[in-house]
């Protein structure tokens, strides 16, 4: 199954219908329409959809793309346009532009109102399974901004695929195993106090170890010994390790609760202790494991990337081996169609290596493995916002500050301030394509007129306030508007709402929650223009009041559904 092959599974209805109907016309004219691409023109005056099919196919017997485009639209017109189309036209140098019919657009508002929280939900992924590996922080280390990105983007991918009908397994692959635990155990063993460990102790001990190494390099060996003992099941080592895991998990779980994150499985690297042997044996059997300076590695002469280390010269296993064991395990447990990893871009090489080995070991096909990499947050003029090298930036501090700013924005209610504050940070992350590096900027995060979480939440709350003020129960109102003369502001909303299912499918296909953000921002802006220019409750006719209220209801519902996919709450009031 190739990525492009998934297009069919993830493409939306009205688009499909157009593709089908236009496809028939093409067939009639003996034009190959298998690569028919439909896009939304950047300028809406060129219609709701445009296709450049004529640009590709005019060589077979036509004078120009324009010539063929005209032929297509004339044939289509004489065949009779489908009822969902208002008109079609040709634009230079040979685009075919399509305008959707008003009745169709209005019917989509009704669709939103009928389907409510399920508007946009699809069963396209029926029978398909996806495993999403995300968040995956490291025990005994602070939960920093990098793991925040993985957590937020990963959760959004989980939500999206579930909404699209896939069976989704979200996994927190905790960093709870590896040589670093030898260092930690060494430090804890050499502590003077016997007081109970706190998360701060763990973070400090780790930093101190590295300071000590500078003076006493031999302690590296002792740490290595300790990890070896841990891998061999030494009781004392295991007990210390267990305590570290418990202390950290408690901390992480508090953060997850605050962020509203739910995993289907939390199984860290340690889970694969007894599952690595199988991988090593499989690799030996396939003769891909070679000895190199006492260690065991897999080489990639065809890919021209450095070898991957599976067993260190002291016999210790590696991050790579554990990842391979986890793929084998996941494959046998769920037979996933896709294995997705939401992990920082600095691990790109790692994933290229383990994906290549997984393919060699027959765990899956190359196109089933996807590394959705994320960039980092940085402070302009200063550099990476990091948890390493001393400049620790704790996620919780950022969230607290954000909630404080949310309060200043207006809401004194703690619950709402939390929704707005946490939502602001999440949105600030998600509105960017995952791979981009983001300049940290409080102003933008809270821009009430800009592309921000608070702006969307504010627009949602505004809709709710209009609906409440109307005093009407829209459930009892009839949805029937045959005589409307739509104003531009209304048209603009209608010509946006229907795109929602399409947008989420694209966001899923491209692993890009940012597409949902830009759609929601566009919708919210259009709603606010509509709100500012037209009267809703004081409109001239009862029919108009009712229509504009339905429109308001639909907009608020779509914003809510979109925010929900992003993992951001929509407070009724702000």
175 versus 364: smaller Cβ distance to ligand ARG: 175
C-alpha span between 342 and 153 (Å, rounded): 7
C-alpha span between 521 and 549 (Å, rounded): 20
Kindly give the interhelix angle for 414-430 and 453-470, rounded to the nearest 10 degrees: 130
Query: Reduced to 3 states, what is the DSSP secondary structure of residue 369?
Result: strand
Distance, C-alpha 515 to centroid of its chain: 9
131 versus 456: smaller Cβ distance to ligand ARG: 131
343 versus 494: smaller Cβ distance to ligand ARG: 343
392 versus 525: smaller Cβ distance to ligand ARG: 392
426 binds ligand ARG (CB under 6 A): no
C-alpha span between 331 and 35 (Å, rounded): 33
Q: How many residues bind ligand ARG (CB under 6 A)?
A: 8
88 versus 327: smaller Cβ distance to ligand ARG: 327
231 binds ligand ARG (CB under 6 A): no
Shortest distance (Å) from residue 388 CB to ligand ARG: 11
173 binds ligand ARG (CB under 6 A): yes
133 versus 251: smaller Cβ distance to ligand ARG: 133
Q: Which residue among 51, 108, 136, 452 contacts ligand ARG (CB under 6 A)?
A: 136
Shortest distance (Å) from residue 145 CB to ligand ARG: 12
162 versus 322: smaller Cβ distance to ligand ARG: 322
156 binds ligand ARG (CB under 6 A): no
Q: Which residue among 15, 51, 138, 317 contacts ligand ARG (CB under 6 A)?
A: 138
343 versus 385: smaller Cβ distance to ligand ARG: 343
Burial group, residue 413, by CB count within 10 angstroms (0-12, 13-18, 19+): middle
175 binds ligand ARG (CB under 6 A): yes
Name residues whose C-beta falls within 8 Å of residue 529's C-beta, 6 or more positions apart in sequence: 489, 492
- Contact window for ligand ARG (CB under 6 A) among 131-139, 408-416, 518-526, 552-560: 131-139
Please count the residues of the chain: 574
Whose CA is closest to 115, among 78, 64, 76, 163?
163
74-79: list long-range contacts, CB under 8 Å, 24+ apart: 75/25, 75/28, 75/29, 76/22, 76/25, 79/25, 79/28
Q: Which residue among 263, 341, 511, 547 contacts ligand ARG (CB under 6 A)?
A: 341
Alpha-carbon separation of residue 210 from 134, 182, 217, 243, 566 (angstroms): 28, 13, 10, 21, 38
Q: Which residue among 323, 328, 490, 509 contacts ligand ARG (CB under 6 A)?
A: 323
C-alpha span between 73 and 85 (Å, rounded): 12
Per-residue tokens: 420: 């707005």
133 binds ligand ARG (CB under 6 A): yes
- Contact window for ligand ARG (CB under 6 A) among 9-17, 130-138, 296-304, 474-482: 130-138
Shortest distance (Å) from residue 527 CB to ligand ARG: 39
Name residues whose C-beta falls within 8 Å of residue 563's C-beta, 6 or more positions apart in sequence: 423, 456, 457, 460, 520, 569, 570
373 binds ligand ARG (CB under 6 A): no
341 versus 500: smaller Cβ distance to ligand ARG: 341
Cα dihedral 418, 420, 425, 430 sign: positive
Query: Reduced to 3 states, what is the DSSP secondary structure of residue 499?
Result: coil
Shortest distance (Å) from residue 322 CB to ligand ARG: 8
Starting at the earlier edge strand, list the strands of the sheet with 438-439. Answer: 383-384, 377-379, 438-439
Alpha-carbon separation of residue 158 from 167, 252, 388 (angstroms): 10, 19, 29
Q: Looking at residues 343 to 362 of the shown chain, list those that interact with ligand ARG (rule: CB under 6 A).
A: 343
In the bound complex, which residue of the shown chain has the CB atom lying closest to ligand ARG? Answer: 175
179 versus 411: smaller Cβ distance to ligand ARG: 179
Chain residues in the site for ligand ARG (CB under 6 A): 133, 136, 138, 173, 175, 323, 341, 343
């Amino acid at each position: 199954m190739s990525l492009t092959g998934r297009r069919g599974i993830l493409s939306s209805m009205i688009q499909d219908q157009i593709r089908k109907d236009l496809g028939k016309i093409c067939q009639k004219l003996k034009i190959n329409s298998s690569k028919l691409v439909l896009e939304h023109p950047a300028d809406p005056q060129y219609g709701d959809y445009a296709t450049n099919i004529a640009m590709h196919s005019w060589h077979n017997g036509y004078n120009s793309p324009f010539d063929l485009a005209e032929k297509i639209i004339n044939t289509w017109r004489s065949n009779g346009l489908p009822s969902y189309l208002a008109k079609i036209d040709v634009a230079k140098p040979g685009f075919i532009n399509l305008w959707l019919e008003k009745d169709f657009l209005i019917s989509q508002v009704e669709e939103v109102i009928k389907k409510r929280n399920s508007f946009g939900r699809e069963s396209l992924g029926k029978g398909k399974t996806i495993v999403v590996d995300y968040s995956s922080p490291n025990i005994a280390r602070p939960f920093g901004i990098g793991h925040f990105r993985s957590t937020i983007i990963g959760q959004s991918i989980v939500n999206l695929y579930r909404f699209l009908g896939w069976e989704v397994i979200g996994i927190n692959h905790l960093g709870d195993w590896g040589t670093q635990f030898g260092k930690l155990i060494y430090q804890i063993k050499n502590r003077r106090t016997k007081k109970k460990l706190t998360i701060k102790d763990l973070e400090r001990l780790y930093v101190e170890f590295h300071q000590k190494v500078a003076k006493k390099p031999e302690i590296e060996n002792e740490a290595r010994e300790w990890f070896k003992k841990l891998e061999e099941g030494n009781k004392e080592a295991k007990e210390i390790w267990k305590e570290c895991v418990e202390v950290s998990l408690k901390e992480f779980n508090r953060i997850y609760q605050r962020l509203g994150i739910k995993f289907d499985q939390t199984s860290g690297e340690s889970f694969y202790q007894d599952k690595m042997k199988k991988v090593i044996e499989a690799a030996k059997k396939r003769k891909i494991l070679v000895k190199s300076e006492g260690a065991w590695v897999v080489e990639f002469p065809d890919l021209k990337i450095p070898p991957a280390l599976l067993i260190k010269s002291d016999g210790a296993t590696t991050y790579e081996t554990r990842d391979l064991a986890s793929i084998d395990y996941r494959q046998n447990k769920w037979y996933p169609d896709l294995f997705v990893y939401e992990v920082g871009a600095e691990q790109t090489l790692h994933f290229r290596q383990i994906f290549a080995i997984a393919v060699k070991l027959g765990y899956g096909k190359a196109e089933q493995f996807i590394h959705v990499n994320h960039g980092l947050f940085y402070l302009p003029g200063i550099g990476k916002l990091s948890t390493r090298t001393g400049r620790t930036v704790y996620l919780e501090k950022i969230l607290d500050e954000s909630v404080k700013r949310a309060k200043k924005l207006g809401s004194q209610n703690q619950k709402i301030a939390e929704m707005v504050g946490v939502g602001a940070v999440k949105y600030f992350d998600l509105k960017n394509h995952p791979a981009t590096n983001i300049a940290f900027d409080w102003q933008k995060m809270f821009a009430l007129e800009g592309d921000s979480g608070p702006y969307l939440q504010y627009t949602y709350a505004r809709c709710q306030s209009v609906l409440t003020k109307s005093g009407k129960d829209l459930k009892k109102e009839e949805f029937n508007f045959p005589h409307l003369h739509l104003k531009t502001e209304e048209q603009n909303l209608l010509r946006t709402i229907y795109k929602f299912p399409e947008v989420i499918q694209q966001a899923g296909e491209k692993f890009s929650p940012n597409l949902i953000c830009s759609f929601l921002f566009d919708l919210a802006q259009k709603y606010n223009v509509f709100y500012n220019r037209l009267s809703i409750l004081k409109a001239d006719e009862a029919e108009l009041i009712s229509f504009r209220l339905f429109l308001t209801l639909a907009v608020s519902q779509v914003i809510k559904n979109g925010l929900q996919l992003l993992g951001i709450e929509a407070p009724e009031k702000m």
